[in-house]
Homo-oligomer: A and B are copies of this chain.
Amino acid sequence: MTAFDDLMAFTRDTVALGEIAGRMGWDQETVMPRGAAPQRGEEMAAIEAVLHARRSDPRVGDWLATAVAPDAAGAAQLREIRRSYERTVKIPADLATRLAQVTSVAQGKWAAARAAEDIAAFLPVLEEVVALKREEGAALAAGGPLYDAMLEDYEPGTSAAEIAAIFDAMRPRLVALRAAILERPDPAALSGYYPAETQLRMTHELATVFGYDLSRGRIDKAVHPFSSGSGNDVRITTRTNEDDPFNCIYSTIHETGHACYEQNIDQAYLLTALGRGVSMGVHESQSRIYENQLGRSRAFTGWLFGQMTEAYGDIGVGDAEAFYAAANRVHPGYIRTEADEVQYNLHIMLRFDLERALMAGDLQVADLEAAWNDRFLRDFGYAVDKPSNGVLQDVHWSVGLFGYFPTYALGNVYAGCLHAALRQAVPDLDTQLAAGDTAAATGWLRDNLQRHGSLYEPREIITRASGAAPTEAPLMDYLEAKFGALYGL
């Protein structure tokens, strides 16, 4: 056994244990009895401590110092393991344990507070989470910018300044587009009643249409839809709203994009450091292109309209064109996950600025709701009516995900780049989508991006797949063309 082989074998067990921890997270969100939360907090802390000890094991450092990669994939393995090791050794085991414990409790309190519209019940534990995350950020940053150090967990090689620059380039065009749209007549929404049971049945069909392999996955309900797991056990969750079927449909297609990325990674990378999507931004590019550029296209919504009228009868819009308009309606709303393609990034920018301020210590948790509501009023033009429509709507902060939100917008930017290249590669894409056939599109994404897992770094894989370095231009061009036509601008 060489140092490289030893390191691969050790890492394989670490990755397997990480999969187990991930599965317990799925369990907590879908099936765990409510009364189990404190006990589960201890259990999660125990496995996080094991993972932390393995990821920072001095032997990993020794192996990394002498390991020789046999090939390019081996070199990428070492790169990913080194990144994880160098970051992990900076975090004291005790801090990792406390974070796992507190976030497990905080997530339960968040869910209860959200249900009760009782923000006061959540803020004390959020203060604990923020304090621990700042402690973690300080350990990681080693004197550098604290928030940039956090971004490294989700989008390696990106700084807050770079993200702010992209957002600055997008914002004037988005604001102008939004203002122009909202002066136009509001297209008709769907009407009718959509039984949860029918919606859930349709999720299985939709996920399959987008290439999700249900023999290596499953679909359950959760408050906040998510995808979890890798390789041959990749599960998604969705939610239903019996007045609004789009919520479930597009949550499902979105999570299917995430899940297909994981399911389509080369099996040779299973349970290795390359066996996961390479970054949150690249991951989000997959969920976004499935959901928006494919799922909300005129062509695909034409097929979907047929499915909907077959399942539900009259849905309140008379033809596929009106259905397309309803599926892309830009209208006032509070919830990020329900936002249209135009306004979505404004939701992200709000969170990005607030969480940077929280981490910098410029904003206190006690002032968070007021800051959220102020910013929301400024950006969206109307006031938040209740906490579940405002600062309590997302699970992320309760589980310590700071630095994660901006990757959603980066994902949109990457999706814009990939979509432009996909249109070149598959000229008759719309004909296929109009027949409910995504095979060429999802196959192109699988072959050009998904199968590689973490073989290439984020910027490199987007550049390879789309043929150019990523910029916001293709996304903005696409949005202006699509919504310009939809709203007759």
Contact present for A36 and B216 (CB under 8 Å)? yes
A16-B43, A42-B16 as given contacts; A35 in contact with B218, CB under 8 Å? no
Contact with B along A216-236 (1 / 0, CB 8 A): 111010000000000111010
A13 to B47, CA, bound (A): 8
CB neighbours of A19 from chain B (8 A): 39, 43
Q: Does A34 contact B (CB under 8 A)?
A: yes
A35-B213, A233-B33 as given contacts; A16 in contact with B46, CB under 8 Å? yes
Contact present for A215 and B271 (CB under 8 Å)? no
Contact present for A39 and B270 (CB under 8 Å)? yes
Contact present for A218 and B31 (CB under 8 Å)? yes
A23-B24, A24-B23 as given contacts; A233 in contact with B42, CB under 8 Å? no
Shortest CB-to-CB span from A424 to chain B, Å, is: 34
Q: How large is the interface on A (under 10, 10 to 19, 20 to 34, 35 or more residues)?
A: 35 or more
Q: Does A40 contact B (CB under 8 A)?
A: yes
- In this complex, the member of A17, A38, A43, A271 whose beta carbon has the largest number of chain B beta carbons within 10 angstroms is A43
Contact present for B50 and A17 (CB under 8 Å)? yes
Shortest CB-to-CB span from A55 to chain B, Å, is: 14
Which one, B20, B216, B218, B231, contacts A47 given CB within 8 A? B20
**CB-nearest residue of chain B to A30:** B31
- In this complex, the member of A34, A45, A47 whose beta carbon has the largest number of chain B beta carbons within 10 angstroms is A47
A17-B46, A38-B232 as given contacts; A33 in contact with B271, CB under 8 Å? no
Q: Does A160 contact B (CB under 8 A)?
A: no
Which label, helix, strand, loop or mixed, suits the secondary structure of the A interface? helix
CB neighbours of A20 from chain B (8 A): 20, 24, 43, 46-47
> Within the oligomer, what is the number of copies of this chain?
2
**CB-nearest residue of chain B to A43:** B16
Which one, B17, B39, B47, contacts A233 given CB within 8 A? B39
A17 to B214, CA, bound (A): 29
Contact present for A271 and B27 (CB under 8 Å)? no
CB neighbours of A31 from chain B (8 A): 31, 218, 220
CB neighbours of A214 from chain B (8 A): 33
Q: Does A116 contact B (CB under 8 A)?
A: no
A46 to B54, CA, bound (A): 12
A292 to B17, CA, bound (A): 41
**CB-nearest residue of chain B to A39:** B232
A35 to B39, CA, bound (A): 30
A20 to B43, CA, bound (A): 7
Q: Does A49 contact B (CB under 8 A)?
A: yes
Q: Does A473 contact B (CB under 8 A)?
A: no
Q: Does A32 contact B (CB under 8 A)?
A: yes
Contact present for A232 and B17 (CB under 8 Å)? no
CB neighbours of A49 from chain B (8 A): 13
A37 to B380, CA, bound (A): 48
A243 to B43, CA, bound (A): 41
Shortest CB-to-CB span from A233 to chain B, Å, is: 4
A50 to B13, CA, bound (A): 10
CB neighbours of A24 from chain B (8 A): 20, 23
CB neighbours of A232 from chain B (8 A): 33, 35-36, 38-39
Interface residues of A in 342-379 (CB under 8 A from B): none
Q: Which residues in A have some Cβ–Cβ distance to B below 8 Å?
A: 12-13, 16-17, 19-20, 23-24, 27, 31-36, 38-40, 42-43, 45-47, 49-50, 213-218, 220, 231-233, 235, 270-271
Q: List 27 A-B contacts (CB under 8 A).
A: A13-B46, A13-B49, A16-B42, A16-B43, A16-B45, A17-B47, A17-B50, A20-B20, A20-B24, A20-B46, A20-B47, A23-B24, A31-B218, A32-B233, A33-B214, A33-B216, A33-B217, A35-B232, A36-B216, A36-B232, A38-B232, A39-B232, A39-B270, A40-B233, A42-B271, A43-B271, A50-B50
